[in-house]
Amino acid sequence: MNNVLTIAPLLLPMLSGVLLLSIKQNIKLSTAVYLVSSILQFIVSSILLFTISESKFFVMHIGGWEAPFGITIAIDIAGSIMLVAGSFVSLAVALFAVNTVEPRRLQFGFYGLTQFLILGVNGAFITGDIFNLFVWFEVMLISSFVLLSLGAGKEQLEGTIKYVLLNLVSSAFFLMGVGILYSATGSLNFAKIASVAILNPDNSLLTLSTAFFIFSFGMKAAIFPVFFWLPSSYHTPPIVVTALFSGLLTKVGVFSLIRLFTYVLPTQQQEFSFLLKVLAGFTMVIGVLGAIAQNDVRRLLSFHIISQIGYMIMGIAIGTAASFAATIFYIVHNMLAKTNLFFAAGIQNQILGTYNLKKSGGLYKTAPYLSLLFIISAFALAGFPPLSGFPAKLTLISSGFSAGEYLISGVAIMVSFFTLFSMVKIWNEAYWKELIPERSAGSNTNKMMYLPVILMALAIIGTGVFFQPIYHLLMMAAHQLSTPELYINAVLGEV
């Protein structure tokens, strides 16, 4: 049974993707299949998380070809946490999509494409082979290209071209990094690379390839100074696509960086710690300052993604077990809060007919429940207790202080204030301000649109309030991440 469970995160989206593409003309049927498949994926990844334990990995050698030669799928606790969070986000996105995406886009195969996107994301979370990781990135990118440009308007195509071009550059660097790494270690398998790298940490080729990977993953994660593609493309597609991307894509970049510095090249973390700290600081500050300057909700939130990525990079830069645990929770928290804010922005657009903050207002009066849901997500992002952002920031910053990284932790605290400020900006403009009279309100909302937003808000509160058991899980995940020997043994067998 374990072998089915290990491959299920890949198999389910693959099967449902093909099925959904083949029945894309029948909207009712494909909607039903889409929802059932999304729920099933969430259930399966939850089962995976419950059955995995500290010293155990779910390992599968594809095609039965043993570890250093074949492609390995290895699920650890961190990976399964990401799978659960990812499938939860995609479930919420599914619930939102069935109520908002117009039939024209559905007939182009919108549902099937999101499944292929999730296939790529899941693959990147659980693969144990660096070239296979590249392949999953490509699967993810190609489906995201199509999702971005689907049903294209002029503005949407412009955003897509920027996105495609920069991601291709990033992929090229990734591939070069893989090539260098292969020449240095003679393997593509994470565990094998790690075991060679630990014995021979001074090889300068390893440093070189790490630099290539940081550039490539950093570009995909949108860290300073290669973040500019994100705000110029994320606001163009339908809001549900933006929500899906913001929940999953950049996080895959960050998670791959975690993988890189824990299982693949654990010895390189020290060498790049300073660089990562500098990048993290700039990413945080510039992202949040960019956000404050925006007047379009989607652009504001897009800049915000960048700022939040800075926190995650900070956790990787500190590099202790506690900071890895904090980073993983930060990613989860951010997936929930950020996706939910995009949902709220989508509903705001449905009510007011605009994303422009200058032209909106009065939502507090016309949509009090939306206001509540928005406040929950916004306060979570700013780090208010008892929401998920509070333990996320607390564990991250305290891990920074206990590692003696006072400067970057101080910057992180300061950026939190700016985060709150930018959230208050949305609140003031869209919710608190009196509505400009000529705009008609409350025209075309569907009650079902609130369902995913409520689900996400509950998850935000839940992960914040019941943080104790989650923290225990996170520490187990961090223990695995900071002890690469466990991983090497699990994949290569006892050596």
Partner 1 sequence: MNSLILKTTVRFINKLLLLFSVFLLLRGHNEPGGGFVGGLVASTVFILYTLSEGYKEALAYLKVSPFSLIIVGLTTAILSALPSLFLGDAFMKAIWLETRIPIIGKFGTPFVFDLGVYFLVLGITLSIVLSLRKDSE
- The residue range among 1-9, 89-97, 329-337, 463-471 that interacts with partner 1, by the rule CB under 8 A, is 1-9
- Quick one: 24 or 338, whose CB is closer to partner 1? 24
Query: DSSP 3-state assignment of 127?
Result: strand
In this chain, which of 28, 63, 199, 494 binds partner 1, going by CB under 8 A? Answer: 63
Task: Considering the complex, state which of residue 108 and residue 432 has its C-beta at the smaller distance from partner 1.
Answer: 108
Instruction: Please calculate the CA angle 72-14-132 and round it to the nearest 5 degrees.
Output: 30
Region of 151 please: left (phi>0), alpha (psi -120 to 50) or beta: left
CA–CA distance, 85 with 238 (Å, rounded to integer): 22
Question: Does residue 407 touch partner 1 according to CB under 8 A?
Answer: no
Among 52, 57, 58, 62, binds partner 1 (CB under 8 A): 62
- Say whether residue 146 binds partner 1 (CB under 8 A): no
- Choosing from 9, 12, 13, 21, the residue that interacts with partner 1 (CB under 8 A) is 21
**CA gap 194, 204 in Å, rounded:** 15
Annotate 300-342 with DSSP letters as a single string. HHHHHHHHHHHHHHHHHHH-SHHHHHHHHHHHHHHHHHHHHHH
Q: Which is nearer to partner 1, 35 or 62 (CB)?
A: 62
- Residue number, 6 or 250, with CB nearest to partner 1: 6
60 vs 75, beta carbon nearer partner 1: 60
75 forms bridges with which residues in the sheet? 58
Q: Is 3 in the site for partner 1 (CB under 8 A)?
A: yes
Asked if residue 298 lies in contact with residue 349, where contact means CB atoms within 8 angstroms, the answer is: no
| Span near partner 1 by CB under 8 A; candidates 17-25, 79-87, 127-135, 147-155 | 17-25
Of 313, 305, 326, the residue nearest 230 (C-alpha): 305
If you compute the radius of gyration of the chain from its CA atoms, what whole number of angstroms results?
Answer: 21
Q: In the complex with partner 1, which residue's Cβ is closer, 6 or 195? A: 6
Residue listed under structure tokens 């009090």: 368
Residues 68-97 that bind partner 1 (CB under 8 A): 73
The residue among 7 and 169 lying less far from partner 1, judged by its C-beta, is: 7
The amino acid occupying position 188 is L
Q: Does 152 bind partner 1 (CB under 8 A)?
A: no
Closest to partner 1 by CB, 4 vs 32, is: 4
- Alpha carbons 111 and 116: distance in angstroms, whole number: 9
The alpha carbon of residue 5 and the mean position of all alpha carbons in its chain are separated, in whole angstroms, by 23
Nearest-approach distance from CB 108 to partner 1, in angstroms: 12
Helical spans, DSSP H, in 127-153: 130-149
Q: Which stretch binds partner 1 (CB under 8 A): 3-11, 244-252, 284-292, 469-477?
A: 3-11
Q: In angstroms, what is the minimal distance from the CB of 72 to partner 1?
A: 10
| CA separation for the pair 326, 108 (Å, rounded) | 40
Residue range at the interface with partner 1 (CB under 8 A); choices 5-13, 155-163, 317-325, 423-431? 5-13
486 closest CA partner among 60, 73, 191? 191
Total residues binding partner 1 (CB under 8 A): 16
Question: In the complex, which residues of this chain contact partner 1 (CB under 8 A)?
Answer: 3-4, 6-7, 11, 14-15, 18, 21-22, 60-64, 73
